[in-house]
Chain A
Amino acid sequence: MITTFSEKVLGRSMLILAVMFTILPILSMFSASLEPADSTPLGLSWPSDPQWGNYATAFSGGNVFTLMKSSLFIVVCVLPTTILFATLAGYAIGKMKIRGNSVLFFFFLLGLTIPFESLIVPLYYQVDRFGLLNSQLAIVFPLIALFMPFSIFWMRAHFLRIPSEISEAARVDGASEFQEFRRIHLPLAIPSISALAVIIFIWTWNQFILGVVLIDDPLKRTVAGALTFFQGQYWISIPLISASALIIITPSLILFLIFQRKFISSLLQGALKA
């Protein structure tokens, strides 16, 4: 690809604009978060006397510790279960090719495009009947279920890519079905599983609507669902709302910066496969 000088200038300036457009809202929130809590800040201006104390106020006043624990609990329930169930079903559909696997495939395909919004009403009454309303389990079960179609397709696609010679070789060596799965296919699936884990983590951590509808107490929701709590608590103080929102996004931001390549490639693959 040969690039002329004018193309280069145009390209650079557009990219710089795009990068600025992307980070400005966060910078603006950051500058606001350092203004005195009872003041009305201005869009983007470095505060004369940065109030780092706002973060402490938001952290304790917003019960951030409780919230993080709640989110973590939900992730710990959802993530391993989703991966386990999806790996097993993906293996049955993609590798074992059990009878009726195409029926099963379409059964799960049905759920791939259902917007969460369409199911919140019946889920609310169902979860209520099960006595789970307002507990974290109220969103744990629906989340696992709603993640199933995508996760199964993901794992199925992985197992379809594995050449069948590998299974045959294992059979010849006298491996049982379980050994074949455990010793050969599971280790080979680790990259796909870890990429899926990244996606499911982000989707769970950022989950909003189910928490808002199924759990009254924001402190039992995921951190994203709890943002409404800060809005309610601090609606009068833009510095404190900004500080809380920034605290909330810090864990995913740190994870993203550490595992940026894994995150980006997983989420891109996720879109391409779905």
Chain B
Amino acid sequence: MMKRSNVTGALISLPAISIYSLFVIYPLISAVRYSFTQWDGIGEKEYVGFSNYIQIFQSPELIGSIRNSLSLIIFFSVFPIFFGLLLANFIVRIRTQKIRSITQVVLFFPQILPLAASGIAWSWMYANNGLVNQLLRAVGLERWTQSWLAGFSTALPAVGIIGAWVLTGFCSVLLSTGISKIDPSLYEAARIDGANWWSEFRNVTIPGLRQEISVLITVTTIAALSSFDIIYVTTLGGPGSSTLVPGISIYRLAFTQSAVGLASAFGVVLMLIVILIILPIQIYSRRND
């Protein structure tokens, strides 16, 4: 009996195992293999050991693209989670069910858009005649107006704000459902102890949301490190390399500069960075459960 069900189980897992091996595991192995070669994508591959990896860490442009994507974590993770916490706190206080769910639907909605479409919408927001400059002119800050995605120092924060726009609503809705699961008696106890808004937030809400927060850190950090879509439609990494991120570098190296080995090595490095960041968060949150 036991044996037969093992065979059946293996058989029904086979389709999943096969397609996953063929289109995830196999390319993963190829990526590692290519990463040790110099290859233009057409000719012979030449084994070069670790030199691609060394080149990544010696190239200011590639290091810069890692640094940019780490800076984007501020916009993709820190802002959305911080404002998400604040907003969630206010959302759960809305008494009218109808208004509460409309607020949640509106805030959540950027999440269902293709990132590329959000990128296009925001390219227009940031344009010379776009809404951002129009608002600045309206409040008399004429001299601040500029083409936000074209400035060396403004492009990266501008792109980051697009990420914040996409993720803040998602975070606040997720956190608000988390708050409504916290035992109301904890809040009552805090009030009886004379807790004000802030200490209630710090001592009841935050500890009650630990699991949600660790999930959000994970999801938003991955989004920050793989921000290909938004950058591709807004700046393509420019001006100069001020908004270059690993995804764009990999794309350019492999498909416009024919440095397939180097591109593959960068893909492996990106994967390792993601694991290095995610693993401690996961271990920490699991241990505290």
Q: Which residues of A contact B (CB under 8 A)?
A: 1-4, 7-8, 10-12, 14-15, 18-19, 21-26, 28-29, 32, 40-44, 84-86, 88-89, 91-93, 96, 98-99, 101, 104, 107-108, 110-111, 113-126, 141-142, 144-146, 148-149, 152, 177, 202, 205-206, 208-209, 212-213, 223-225, 227-228, 230-231, 238, 241-242, 245, 248-249, 252-253, 256-257, 260-261, 263-264, 267-268, 271-272, 274
Contacts and interface: CB of A to CB of B under 8 A. Distances in A.
B124 A32 contact: yes
B177 A268 contact: yes
A209 B246 CA distance: 13
A18 B112 contact: no
A228 B232 contact: yes
Nearest to B93: A3
A152 B16 contact: yes
Given A19-B107, A125-B260, A224-B114, 13 more contacts: A15-B94, A22-B109, A28-B121, A44-B134, A86-B16, A113-B278, A115-B271, A120-B251, A120-B267, A122-B30, A149-B24, A208-B115, A212-B232
Contacts of B94: 15
Nearest to A99: B6
Interface stretch (B54-62, B70-78, B146-154, B212-220): B212-220
15 contacts: A7-B93, A43-B135, A92-B9, A93-B13, A96-B8, A118-B31, A124-B254, A148-B16, A208-B115, A208-B116, A212-B232, A227-B117, A256-B112, A264-B105, A271-B215
Interface in B199-219: 211-212, 215-216, 218-219
B114 A249 contact: yes
B63 interface: no
Contact of A2 (B26, B116, B191, B263): B191
B23 A146 contact: yes
A19 B165 CA distance: 11
Interface in B162-188: 165, 168-170, 172-174, 177, 184, 187
Contact of A98 (B5, B106, B130): B5
B173 A268 contact: yes
A7 B27 CA distance: 54
A119 B27 contact: yes
Contacts of B4: 177
B283 interface: no
B19 interface: yes
Interface string B54-97: 00000000000000000000000000000100110111111000
Contacts of B215: 271-272, 274
Contacts, number: 296
B17 A115 contact: no
Interface of B: 4-6, 8-10, 12-13, 15-17, 19-20, 22-28, 30-31, 34, 41, 83, 86-87, 89-94, 101, 103-118, 120-122, 124-125, 127, 129-135, 165, 168-170, 172-174, 177, 184, 187, 191, 197, 211-212, 215-216, 218-219, 222, 225-226, 228-229, 232-233, 246-247, 250-251, 254-255, 260, 263-264, 267-268, 270-271, 274-275, 278
A1 B117 contact: no
A271 B117 contact: no
